[in-house]
Chain A
Amino acid sequence: MITVENLSIHYGNLAAVRDVSLDIPEGKITAVVGPSGCGKSSFLASLNRLTDLIPGAKVAGEIRLNGKSDIVNDPGLDLLELRRTVGMVFQKPNPFPLSIRKNFELPLLEHGISKREIPGRIESTLREVGLWDEISDRLDESAENLSGGQQQRLCIARALALRPKVILFDEPCSALDPLASGVVEDHIAALRGKVTVVIVTHNLAQARRIADEVALFWVRDGAGCVIETGPANTIFDRPKDPDAALYFSGARG
């Protein structure tokens, strides 16, 4: 369970996200939707402190993982361990331009997994994303030679290999063709119950298909905030906010 309280994100003087509070349930799939520029990616990146990589980005508020230490403010937080626990998959597949095996070895070795354990991890996670049968004989070839959809599944497997508790997806299908997009979506859906998933998506139909919970971001007073949250099976039908109603009906956003 991730508890977000009064989260604000600034880039210099620009407020990207203001005062967001949200509960993300454990083991479920939470979809974050909304028009572009409303702060979804910024919100997601703050959950594993990837906002640290952006010069000038400032995060305020609280984020707690299972009620424990505060991700935003805790000075003693081990960032590398946080990112092992909270994995992330990006819009554009970003495998390292090295061998497929290296793609797994580098992060696994960083987190102290022994060399002996690694082949097993590679196989099990590649099976989880349905890649094992496709590429098991090409582990020493460059990951760049894979198709876009395969690369994205490799990135998911690479994150899964670290046995994270949470995985963040930032529009993981929008750079893929429809067929590959469907395959990736199925594998994300299959993570339900195993890890906590937060997925940013532009695609309302996708949110409907795979999400348990939905949070709608919107720009109000120049900054992103959450205007509607709820279970996926009801939120689309009975939104309280008028903007949300228009957005879900396809008229806005």
Chain B
Amino acid sequence: MSPSVNDRVAGAALGIAAWLCGGISLLILIWVGVEAIPALNNDPGISSLLGDAHWLPGSVREPQFGMLPILAGSVLVTIFSIIPATVAGVGCAVFQRFYAPKWMRTFLRRVLELLAGIPSVVIGFWGLVVLVPILQKWQPPGQSLAAAAIVLAIMILPTVALTASTALKNVSPGLFRAAAALGMGRARTILGVALPTARRGIAGGVILAAARAIGETMAVVMVCGNVAQWPGSIFDPIRPATATIALEMSYATAGHRSVLFALAFFLVLVVGAAVGWIAFRKPSTPHRR
């Protein structure tokens, strides 16, 4: 075979591989989307999804599919995990970049990387056997929004801390020289110059972390208590979307099953939009106070 034929065959084969890889997300959208159609259409239909008061998909006589408490669970657990993770993660990054001695800097980074590598089922298990009993003694029942938020915060903190650290590292040294030449102290340089300058990178990390939090399943399902309700306090059990899917898919049929696919489809859209937004943000926005 002449080299050019060889080249064309190889090019075609690699091209097929590339299109296949790029096309998988489309396959996912289609296959999950098709299963979700009945739920959005009439079985049970959007009005039922948004209008029903409760989530009682298994009820034989009158099943209800009010998914608002479930969506609320997802949103609440994301918010309550992202806040402590952001505070602690950015604090960690500031300490690592501007205060820690050199050896500790690398050590902290390694620990964060290891923490990021702990699988969600293992952290969930830890939450179930260690964290939940502690909470239970203090604020029963233990399996709750709070437990899920803590477990999630531990999981996403490394993402926030590591991206914040990178963003702070990328602040131009010229700005630190400018601050020093103006006689600015360390705290004001960090709070006034470094963090605001790195805010885009930090925000990107926080959004990525939030996307992970809302899509996380195993760690949450093991500690959240799994009651589809509007929580009255953070110590009440909840049931976010991912947990709902994981728990009910094995026995769901017909409309119920379709609703679970609709939840999954919705998750993909939300997370994809968040991640896409970071990727395609304008390179720089004029600063306004």
Contacts and interface: CB of A to CB of B under 8 A. Distances in A.
A158 B197 CA distance: 18
Contacts of B178: 90, 94-96, 155
A79 B183 contact: yes
Interface in A95-110: 95-99, 101-102, 106-107, 109-110
A141 B188 contact: no
Contact of B175 (A82, A94, A109, A158): A94
A50 B197 contact: no
B137 interface: no
B61 interface: no
Contacts of A64: none
Contacts of B289: 99, 101-102, 140
Contact of A90 (B177, B185, B188, B288): B177
Given A99-B289, A142-B287, A81 B177 contact: no
Contacts of A92: 174
Contacts of A142: 286-288
Contacts of A88: 181
A80 B178 CA distance: 13
Given A102-B192, A109-B188, A96 B197 contact: yes
Nearest to B181: A88
A88 B180 CA distance: 10
Interface string B160-180: 000000000000101111111
Contacts of A94: 172, 174-175, 177-178
Contacts of B182: 83-84, 87, 106-107, 110, 158-159, 162
A229 interface: no
B201 to A, nearest CB: 13
A153 to B, nearest CB: 15
B183 A82 contact: yes
Interface in A144-202: 144-145, 155, 158-159, 162
B189 to A, nearest CB: 8
A53 interface: yes
Contacts of A162: 182-183
Contacts of B287: 97-99, 141-142, 144
A238 interface: no
Contact of A96 (B183, B193, B284): B193
Contacts of B185: 80, 110
B183 A111 contact: yes
Nearest 8 CB-CB pairings of A with B: A83-B183, A142-B287, A107-B182, A88-B181, A80-B183, A84-B183, A94-B178, A106-B192
Interface of A: 48, 50, 52-53, 79-84, 87-88, 90, 92, 94-99, 101-102, 106-107, 109-111, 140-142, 144-145, 155, 158-159, 162
12 contacts: A50-B180, A79-B183, A94-B175, A96-B179, A106-B192, A107-B184, A110-B184, A110-B185, A140-B288, A142-B286, A142-B287, A144-B284
